Structure 1
Amino acid sequence: MTEKSKEYFSGLFSENDGSLFGTDPEFTDFFSRFAFDEVPNQDDLDTHTRTLAILAALIGCQGVELFRDMLPEAIDYKVTPVEVKEMIYQATAYLGIGRVYPFLRAANKEFTDLGVKLPLPGQATITANDRVEAGEQLQVDIFGEQMKGFAESGPEESRHINKWLSGNCFGDYYTRTGLDQREREMITFCFLAAQGGCEPQLISHAAANMRIGNDKAFLIKVISQCIPYIGYPRSLNALRCVSEAEKE
């Protein structure tokens, strides 16, 4: 194990899982060399962005125990409690509260243990009266002019879902401060890539990322950093979706 990977691994697991050094020394050696040394040194992705991507991927793949263990390290890497909470909130639109609730509880407990005062400062910028209009405007900003009128589009029997997409998914979440739009689209990409089975949406959000400045090279860097956490099959699917998005 290199000194860099040993330092990272020790900081990540020392409190909750230090026994891995004793029970699984070979795994600890080759996994940490790969995940905490070889992978981070592959590209120039900054530590803050890398950490946001990994945390989002852990939410997407339901890695709640590792997510909880990584939070103190994330704070050390200048990821703020507000950014973490905003990520968890936004994940609800893509995974549902059934899969996000454990992460919200885990973050609250970890932040309390770290001495972070809860609740955190509010990040809302809209009201219940303008959420649909504001959300649809963000859809236009992110996906393009074809999204104008989306909230009132589609077959009558399912039109309410399009309205919810504008007002809830984008209005309630994307209009909040704490993360900028490039960061929000990146973590959405990670949610979708990590949970799998969402390839049409992953292609759409890969294209949206590219449209607002997270280009193909950036997305490949993000996928690369997530490989130790979500595995190769979903990572390779994400690479294919990025290529499809580039064609579109």
Structure 2
Amino acid sequence: MNSEQRTSAAPISTDDRYERGLALLREVSGGKHEAVLGGLSDIAPDLARYTAEFAYGDLYARPGLSYRQRQLTIVAALAAMGNAAPQLRFHIDAALNVGCTRAEIMETLIHVCVFAGFPATLNGLTAAREVFEAAPEETSAPAAPAATKDQAGDRFQRGRAALEHIDGHAGQQVIDSLKDIAPDLARYVIEFSFGDIYSRPGLDLKTRELVTVAICTALGTAGPQLRVHLHGLLNVGGSEAEAVEVITQMTAYAGFPAALNGITAAREVFAQRSAGAQG
């Protein structure tokens, strides 16, 4: 069964976590799983086993996200953290294996610059270039779309509309909080983050918010922004279950503390929305 046919992480038929994880790792990596496990056999064989059992047999095998969604969120998180170049290259390659296009991968990396800065995106693009060059048979795949003439119009108005649609009241609170101390920063948030980046056509808004939740969780320093974008994910059609799944996935890439803090933020957002709906 190829990666185009397997679009969601349905559990593999075995009760053995290691075998289940190894089979899934082999499938997602296109048979390049030795790049992950082989280098550990002589120094940390238990870590190799945990990687297969937990990262893939437990986490990746969960049914809450498609393989494509998982890979784009992992790529975004690794690029944003900026400290795992080999793993980033591995997961960019895996993203191609499960059906992500080069355009989607490039767009995900461009999106990272809003939350982790331009160096993180530039390093991520360098990793992507290396992976793409090693797969010459796919050089005809489309690149990330450039801004059109229409998109280059009124950035502020376009950004304001996107902010209201995606983040709603939570996003406006951020803008309002900056007016008395850094009004230019408020304008940049609207014009660049939403007018330029969020308005690009390369990813749908739900995918952008899944990616953003992954980034903010993995960084571990963006609790308020994570809450805003959890609202955003729910506003553009994401579910609470998908939000929890993205945060849970980050356990393998950013650690349990980051995931636990992310779940605390999600609990607060869900309770706030529930209270608002009841009111």
TM over 0.5: yes
Quick one: distance in 1 between partners of 2:55 and 2:161?
39
Alignment match, 1:43: 63
Alignment match, 2:21: 5
Alignment match, 2:147: 124
Distance 1:155 1:9, change over 3 A: closer
Say whether 1:242 aligns with 2:263: no
Distance 1:156 1:203, change over 3 A: closer
User: 1:187-213: per-residue Cα shift (whole Å, max 9, x none)?
Assistant: 111111101111111111111112222
Distance 1:108 1:54, change over 3 A: same
Moved more, 176-185 or 116-125: 116-125
User: 1:70-96: per-residue Cα shift (whole Å, max 9, x none)?
Assistant: 222211100111111111101001101
Say whether 1:197 aligns with 2:197: no
Say whether 1:225 aligns with 2:249: yes
CA contact (8 A) 1:5 1:36 kept: yes
User: 1:219-242: per-residue Cα shift (whole Å, max 9, x none)?
Assistant: 111112221111100000000001
Say whether 1:85 aligns with 2:112: no
Moved more, 180-189 or 151-160: 151-160
| Pairing partner for 1:106 from 123, 127, 133 | 127
AA at the equivalent of 1:71? I
Where does structure 1 lack aligned partners over 5 or more consecutive residues?
none
CA contact (8 A) 1:68 1:106 kept: yes
The sequence identity of aligned pairs, in percent, is 25
CA contact (8 A) 2:103 2:145 kept: no
TM (norm. structure 1) is: 0.88
Say whether 1:53 aligns with 2:76: no
RMSD: 2.7
TM (norm. structure 2) is: 0.79
Quick one: distance in 2 between partners of 1:70 and 1:147?
31
User: 1:121-171: per-residue Cα shift (whole Å, max 9, x none)?
Assistant: 5242544332221111100111226867x9799536521111111110111
Paired residues, number: 248
CA contact (8 A) 1:13 1:69 kept: no
CA contact (8 A) 1:207 1:242 kept: no
| Pairing partner for 1:182 from 192, 201, 206 | 206
Quick one: distance in 2 between partners of 1:70 and 1:153?
37
Distance 1:157 1:30, change over 3 A: closer
Distance 1:240 1:153, change over 3 A: closer
CA contact (8 A) 2:59 2:249 kept: yes
Structure number with greater CO (CA < 8 Å, separation at least 6) is: 1
